[in-house]
Amino acid sequence: MDAYLARAALLLRLGRDGDALGAWSAAITAAQNRPDLYHERALIYVRKGMLDLAIADFTKELELKPDASAASDALGSVLAQRGFFLQAINSLTKGIEKKPTEARLYYSRGLTYHGTGKIDLAIADYTKASELQPDRAEFYVRRGWAYHQRGDDTKAMLDVDKAISAAPWDAQYLEIRGMIQESLHHVGEAIADYAQALTLDEHRTVAAQRLRRLAAGP
């Protein structure tokens, strides 16, 4: 088995994911019931866009190790990508039941709720995630955008400000704040945020388009 794993690791470093799959499969056959092997093969399937096979492997991993929070998170993400939102939520909820202090699981479930338009449930999960891990900027910016979509731009601004304070180098966060500033009719502040976003990342197309429109005037 060790020989298969060494070969798989080498092939992955060489970018030969397809060949690495064969080596992982041989290792799984040689050492049955190793949850980590199913996890690694599932990650390769995800990279290759073979999502149904990834779902099968993450599911097998959870059968062997029910408290594997990384597998619950990954399975929920892949199910959501496939459009199986209810299954994704169920998978993440089971993961939360096993690991109720795992912030990432709440965040991922919040993303799934958010993607299906369940804004209040998304906000609740983003809030729990930020309580468990208050230093993660993405938890705040996602909740801020959810507040914005719910029409509460005051709370949205507070959250996005927190995200920017935690990660001032992230151009996307500045772009998002600019959009909320526009919603609040703070044109000067929106222009400043879009300009700063483009300074950090000249490829932010939304910021560029909105900056041109605002600079052109009414």
| Number of helices followed by number of strands (H, E) in the chain | 13, 0
Per-residue pLDDT in tens (0 to 9) along the chain, 218 residues: 455 555 555 555 556 666 667 666 776 776 777 888 888 888 888 988 889 999 999 999 999 999 888 999 999 999 999 999 999 999 999 999 999 999 999 999 999 999 999 999 999 999 999 999 999 999 999 999 999 999 999 999 999 999 999 999 999 999 999 999 999 999 999 999 999 999 999 999 999 999 999 988 76
Angle (deg, nearest 10), helices 69-81 and 35-47: 30
Angle (CA) 63 68 70, round 5°: 125
Label residue 135 exposed, middle or buried (CB < 10 Å: 0-12, 13-18, 19+).
exposed
Domain 2-169, CATH class in plain words = mainly alpha
Helix (H) or strand (E) holding 174: helix 171-183
Tell me if 92 sits within 8 A of 78, measured CB to CB: no
CA distance 86 to 74: 15
Beta-carbon neighbour count of residue 62 at 10 Å?
23
pLDDT at 6: 57
Tell me if 32 sits within 8 A of 40, measured CB to CB: no
Sequence ranges of the domains in the chain: 2-169
CA distance 172 to 158: 16
pLDDT at 206: 96
